Chains A and B, each alone.
Chain A
Amino acid sequence: MEALTKMTRIEIVIPGRDAPPIRELITSAGSTGYTAVSGVSGLGHHGQHSGALLFNEYDTLTMLITVLPTEKAPALIGAVRQLLEDGPGVMFVADTYVSRPEYFA
Chain B
Amino acid sequence: MSLGVRAAVTRATRTVVPMWPLSSFIAVNPLGAHESEDFAISGVTRPRNAYLADYASGRISGADLVAAVLHRVPELAGAGNVTLGGRVWTAAELVASELVHADHHGRTTPPPPSPDPVDELVSIWIAAYLDPHPLWEMPDRDQGLWAAWTTMTRYDPRLPKMARKRLRDIPRTADEALAQALARLDPSGSRTEAILRQEALGLPGWVAHIKWRAEHVGDINLTSYLAIRLTLRWALDLPLPLAVKKPELGSATVWERAGTIIPALAEDSASPDTLARVARILTLHPPHLHASTWQSAYEEHYRLQLVATLSPTTTRDLQSAVQLVMCIDPRSEGMRRHLEADLEIETYGFAGFFGVPIRFASYQARGTIDSLPALIAPRHAVTETTNDLPRARRRTNALRFRDALAAGVHASETTPAAPFALAETLGWFFGAGALLRTLWPGTIRARERLHRQATPALSTEVTIADAFTLEERASLAETAIRMMGLDRFAPLVVLAGHGSSSANNLYQSALDCGACGGNPGAANARAATAIFNDPQVRRILAGRGLAIPETTVFVAAEHNTVSDRIDILDRHLLPESHIDVLNEFIGTQRIAADLLVRERSSELPGASGHSLARLRRRAHDWAEVYPELGLAGNAAMIIGPRAMTRGVNLERRVFLHSYVPELDPDGSALETIMTAPLVVAQWINHQYYFSTVDQNRWGAGTKTIHNAIGTIGVLAGHGGDLKSGLPLQSVAVGNTNLHEPMRLTVLIQAPLDRIGTIISRNQVLRDLFDNNWIALTARDSQHSPWHRYGTYGWHTDTELGQTTEGD
Contacts and interface: CB of A to CB of B under 8 A. Distances in A.
Interface of A: 15, 18, 20-21, 24-25, 28-29, 46-50, 53-59, 75-76, 78-80, 82-83, 85, 87-88
B635 to A, nearest CB: 23
A24 B214 CA distance: 10
Interface string B4-15: 101110110010
A47 B4 CA distance: 29
Across chains A and B, which 8 residue pairs bring their CB atoms closest together, nearest first? A79-B3, A55-B676, A59-B764, A79-B7, A21-B10, A82-B7, A50-B761, A56-B375
B762 A55 contact: no
Given A79-B3, A87-B14, A54 B672 contact: yes
Given A57-B376, A82-B7, A28 B1 contact: yes
B760 interface: yes
A49 B377 CA distance: 21
Contacts of A46: 763
B376 to A, nearest CB: 5
19 contacts: A15-B763, A24-B221, A47-B761, A50-B675, A50-B758, A50-B762, A53-B672, A54-B672, A55-B351, A55-B373, A55-B376, A55-B675, A56-B373, A56-B376, A56-B675, A59-B762, A79-B4, A79-B7, A80-B7
Interface in B468-500: 479
Q: Which residue, A50, A55, A75, has most C-beta atoms of chain B within 10 A?
A: A55
Contacts of B351: 55
B759 to A, nearest CB: 10
B762 A58 contact: no
A78 B3 contact: yes
B671 interface: yes
Given A55-B676, A79-B6, A47 B11 contact: no
Contacts of B668: 54
Q: Which among B374, B376, B479, B679 has the highest number of chain A CB atoms within 10 Å?
A: B376
Given A57-B377, A80-B7, A20 B763 contact: no
A98 to B, nearest CB: 22
B6 A25 contact: yes
Contact of A47 (B214, B215, B758, B766): B766
Given A55-B676, A82-B8, A50 B671 contact: yes
Residue in A18, A21, A24, A78 whose Cβ sees the most chain B Cβ within 10 Å: A21
B790 to A, nearest CB: 18
Given A79-B4, A79-B6, A82-B11, A48 B760 contact: yes
B763 A49 contact: yes
B357 interface: yes
Given A56-B675, A82-B4, 9 more contacts: A47-B761, A49-B761, A55-B351, A55-B676, A59-B375, A59-B763, A59-B764, A79-B3, A83-B7
B375 A55 contact: yes
A21 B675 contact: no
Interface residues of B, number: 35
A54 B376 CA distance: 9
Nearest to B3: A79
B374 A24 contact: no
A21 B672 contact: no
B763 A24 contact: no
Contacts of B677: 55
A76 B351 CA distance: 41
A72 to B, nearest CB: 10
A75 B355 CA distance: 42
Nearest to A81: B7
A28 B4 CA distance: 11
A59 to B, nearest CB: 4
Nearest to A85: B11
B647 to A, nearest CB: 30
Contact of B679 (A25, A48, A59): A59
Main secondary structure of the interface of B (DSSP, over half): helix
B1, B215, B375, B672: most-surrounded residue (chain A CB, <10 A) = B375
A58 to B, nearest CB: 4
B675 A24 contact: no
Contacts of A59: 375, 675, 679, 762-764
Contacts of B14: 18, 87
Contact of B761 (A28, A48, A87): A48
Contacts of B672: 53-55
Contact of B374 (A15, A50, A58): A58
B734 to A, nearest CB: 37
Interface string B372-396: 0111110000000000000000000
A53 B4 contact: no
Contacts of B3: 25, 28-29, 75-76, 78-79
Contact of B676 (A54, A85, A88): A54
Given A20-B215, A50-B762, A53-B675, A25 B7 contact: yes
A59 B765 CA distance: 9
A57 B375 contact: yes
B549 to A, nearest CB: 27
Contact of A24 (B6, B357, B762): B6
Interface in B654-689: 668, 671-672, 675-677, 679
Interface string B581-623: 0000000000000000000000000000000000000000000
A76 to B, nearest CB: 6
Contacts of A53: 671-672, 675-676, 762
Nearest to A59: B764
Contacts of A80: 7
Given A48-B760, A53-B672, A82-B11, A58 B4 contact: no
Interface in B329-375: 351, 355, 357, 373-375
B376 A78 contact: no
Contacts of A75: 3-4
Given A20-B214, A55-B357, A55-B375, A78 B763 contact: no
B217 to A, nearest CB: 12
B763 A83 contact: no
With a 10 A CB-CB cut-off, give which of A29, A57, A80, A83 has the most chain B CB atoms.
A83
A78 B561 CA distance: 52
Contacts of B375: 55-59
Residue among A46, A56, A83, A85 with the highest chain B CB neighbour number at 10 A: A56
A72 B379 CA distance: 33
A28 B223 CA distance: 13
B761 A83 contact: no
A8 B3 CA distance: 17
Nearest to B377: A57
Query: Which among B214, B215, B668, B677 has the highest number of chain A CB atoms within 10 Å?
Result: B215
A20 B3 CA distance: 14
A2 B804 CA distance: 76
Contacts of B479: 54
Contacts of A88: 763
B351 to A, nearest CB: 8
A24 B220 CA distance: 13
Contacts of A48: 760-761
Interface in B118-137: none
Contacts of A24: 6, 214, 221
Nearest to A82: B7
Contacts of A21: 6, 10
Nearest to B17: A17
Given A54-B479, A55-B373, A83 B676 contact: no
A27 to B, nearest CB: 10
Nearest to B33: A17
Interface string B748-770: 00000000001011111010000
A57 B377 CA distance: 8
Interface in B212-271: 214-215, 221
A78 B7 CA distance: 9
A68 to B, nearest CB: 12
A59 B758 CA distance: 14
Contacts of A85: 11
Contacts of B763: 15, 46-47, 49, 59, 88
